[in-house]
Amino acid sequence: MFVISFLARIFLWIQTADQELPGQTQKITYGKIKFQIIYLCESMTGQDILYAKSLLEQGKLVAIPTETVYGLAGNALDEKAVLKIFEAKNRPHFDPLIIHLSSLDQLSRYIEEVPDVFLKIADDHCPGPLTFLMKKNNSISDLVTSGSDLVAVRFPAHPLTMSLLQLLDFPLAAPSANPFGYISPTTARHVEKQLGEKIDYILDGGPCDIGLESTIIGLNEEQSTIVVYRKGGLEIESLNKYGLPVEVKETSTSRPSAPGMLLSHYAPTKMLFLADDVDEAPSTNHRTAYLVLKNRKNQIDHFALSSDGDLREAAKNLFAMMRELDEDDQYDVIIAEKMPESGLGLAINDRLKRAAYKAE
């Protein structure tokens, strides 16, 4: 069995040119034909954007780094590729996908009309951790938007992904690269562990800088209010200066505008509880890990998200730390401390609340 799976993972490329391919390679020349044997079993990750491009052009899936979290990307204009994304993530079709573009100039290809206020906000914050809901034109399939007239658009700030997007003549549909409902990935290793079997390549751009998904905004029907549908990597306070009131949507359970708003999401498999002060939390019989903003003393079983209470550092470490504790056999239960309710603390608390255990 091992031999078969090993052999199945050895790819043979017959080439006429000396094109560089990713993975460990061995070149063999046989008369006029050149062979390159590529052993992908060791590594399905790398920084080869040309290889990523060619896979995406063939309708395949590639995980991409962004400044927020890793995305599971496919050609947004190719319905078969889009279907593969839903399948790989085990994601329900009612949960629409964000499309990723390299520059504001491309908006007119996919959007009916871009509200002026969004242009101003984009000017200040894009590329960056912000997603806009805007009226789509017919080039974007209903499959991407789950039947909505609105499509979510974002301009990611990671240099590898920006270069890749510049090489493509289509947008990338990319949800976070995790199985539906689980914690989003902030390293290539996280993606490989959970979705490695289902995707063709992972562009490894190192750990994500921000570590929380993008903030999602739209406008109300009268276009008179900025509506925040998901608190995320861009602090809500930075939206206050555009002359429109800002309304923050909290949980919606039945037909959520954004399933990131589902009551239960971003969840570890262990039970996670949320406490105002972990030291005051009632003691349990379970082996408990405490997830805190910063360590006051050298308390055992306490895991600090930041050395000095910095919310940006905490956001960056949150998902990786949740995964680590979820996988750590020493603990059965996680108790997480609520963060201060400002800046990225709002988005961290939002994720912790949705990750928290809910009795059925």
Interacting residue ranges for ligand TXA, rule: CB under 6 A: 66, 68-69, 71, 95-98, 131, 133, 145, 148, 150-152, 154, 156, 174-176, 213-214, 216, 257-260
| Smallest distance from ligand TXA to CB 99, Å | 8
Stretch that binds Mg ion, among 112-120, 132-140, 169-177, 283-291 (CB under 5 A): 169-177
Q: What value does the CA radius of gyration of the chain take, rounded to a whole number of Å?
A: 22
| Smallest distance from ligand TXA to CB 229, Å | 6
Amino acid at the residue 357: Y
Stretch that binds Mg ion, among 93-101, 171-179, 304-312, 319-327 (CB under 5 A): 171-179
Stretch that binds Mg ion, among 96-104, 170-178, 339-347, 349-357 (CB under 5 A): 170-178
Q: Which of 339, 325, 337 is nearest to 286 (CA)?
A: 325
What is the rounded end-to-end Cα distance, in angstroms, of the chain? 42
Q: Are 232 and 215 in contact (CB under 8 A)?
A: yes
Residue 68 touching Mg ion (CB under 5 A): no
SS3 (DSSP) at 174: coil
**The entry of ligand TXA, Mg ion, none that residue 257 binds, CB within 5 to 8 Å by partner kind:** ligand TXA
Residue 66 touching Mg ion (CB under 5 A): no
Longest CA–CA span in the chain (Å) reads: 75
Q: Cα dihedral sign for 114, 116, 122, 125?
A: negative
| Smallest distance from Mg ion to CB 174, Å | 10
Residue at token pair 């008179």: 224
Q: Cα dihedral sign for 240, 244, 249, 255?
A: negative
Closer Cβ to ligand TXA, 217 or 305, answer by number: 217
Residue 176 touching Mg ion (CB under 5 A): yes
Closer Cβ to Mg ion, 230 or 316, answer by number: 230
The pair phi, psi for residue 93, each rounded to 5°, is: -70, -10
Stretch that binds Mg ion, among 111-119, 173-181, 192-200, 202-210 (CB under 5 A): 173-181
Q: CA-CA distance, 56 to 172, in Å (whole number)?
A: 9
| Smallest distance from Mg ion to CB 162, Å | 21
| Smallest distance from ligand TXA to CB 349, Å | 17
The structure tokens listed for 2 are 């091992």
The structure tokens listed for 291 are 């997830």
| Smallest distance from Mg ion to CB 128, Å | 18
Q: By the criterion CB under 5 A, which residues form the site for Mg ion?
A: 176
